[in-house]
Amino acid sequence: MPRYFMELAYKGTQFSGFQVQENAITIQSSIEQALQVIFKAAIPLTGSSRTDAGVHAMQNFFHFDFDYIITPKNKYNLNAILPADIAITAFYKVEPQQHARFDAVSRHYKYVIYNQKNPFLEQTGYYYPFAVNTQLLQTAAQMVQHNTNFTAFAKRNSQVKTFNCQIMQSQWMFNGPVFEYQVAANRFLRGMVRALVATMLQVGREAITLNDFEALLHNKHNKQANFAAPPQGLFLQQVAYPFTLTPVA
């Protein structure tokens, strides 16, 4: 049976996360309902990366198996009935063994912060009206890039076998009152990016030292990490695969 990758973008503000949940409206449940309307069949989806409630994505993927030729008209009709804050950007026909989650080689996130009140960033950024030391933030980000174990920055009850992550990029970008943290890795732990951001902001405000932060990076407990960064500033920017995706719709 043919396998397809579905590429999508969404604003997560009104959703209870990415994955299907009982008695909750999620990205996956909304798309599965729309697919059933268009194709008159239940089509289970497998996602590449889960995002929490309120988190956004500029690029994410599902895969599904369906014995049907997907066309641009199908994509148009699907977008027409989906909520305005979900957009299907492309369909790709792939090999039957290719997997949206397990074949991903990297994921790239950004976290947006603004320190001057801005109504246009209220749902897509973290209003943080405090002075921060940008050099301390950048140094902390470099320390993240040289770390491999992130046990201290994973939420409790994370059902994973390893807390090791290979960080490919970790840096802060500054543009006047708006600044953002850019991070890419082969995998991320639940709550990890928001915990890194919140804890680095403590470094930037000099509430903790760089030595404190380094000790936390090597800690195997998360009791000292800060998880206070809210979800609306977080974006999944890109999911990368080791093969070429050619759109069919």
Note the Cα 87 to chain centre separation in Å: 16
* Fold of the CATH domain 106-237: Alpha-Beta Plaits (3.30.70)
Q: For 82-191, where are the alpha helices, taking DSSP H only? A: 134-145
Annotated binding site for substrate: 109
How far is it, in rounded angstroms, from Cα 79 to Cα 42? Answer: 17
User: What tokens does 43 get?
Assistant: 């089509």
Sole residue written with tokens 């798309």: 31
User: What tokens does 240 get?
Assistant: 């990368």
Greatest distance between any 2 Cα atoms in the chain: 58
**pLDDT score of 115:** 96
User: What tokens does 139 get?
Assistant: 């140094």
**pLDDT score of 221:** 73
Q: Would you say the CATH fold of 106-237 matches that of 3-103?
A: yes
CATH of domain 3-103: 3.30.70.580
Known catalytic residues are 52
* 236 SS3 class: strand
Sole residue written with tokens 């641009």: 72
How would DSSP label each residue in 207-229? SS-HHHHHHHHT-S--SSS----
**pLDDT score of 18:** 93
CA 121 vs CA 39, 96, 179: distances in Å:
37, 41, 12
**pLDDT score of 160:** 82
Annotated binding site: 109
Note the Cα 66 to chain centre separation in Å: 26
> What ranges do the domains of the chain cover?
3-103, 106-237
**pLDDT score of 161:** 82
Q: What end-to-end distance do the CA atoms of the chain give, in Å? A: 18
Instruction: For the chain, 249 residues long, give each residue's pLDDT as a single digit of tens.
Output: 999 999 999 999 999 999 888 889 999 999 999 999 999 999 999 999 999 999 999 999 999 999 999 999 999 999 999 999 999 999 999 999 999 999 999 999 999 999 999 999 999 999 999 999 999 999 999 999 999 999 999 887 667 888 999 999 999 999 999 999 999 999 999 999 999 999 999 999 999 999 999 999 988 776 677 889 999 999 999 999 999 999 999
**112 Rama class: left (phi>0) / alpha (psi -120 to 50) / beta:** beta
How far is it, in rounded angstroms, from Cα 48 to Cα 197? Answer: 23
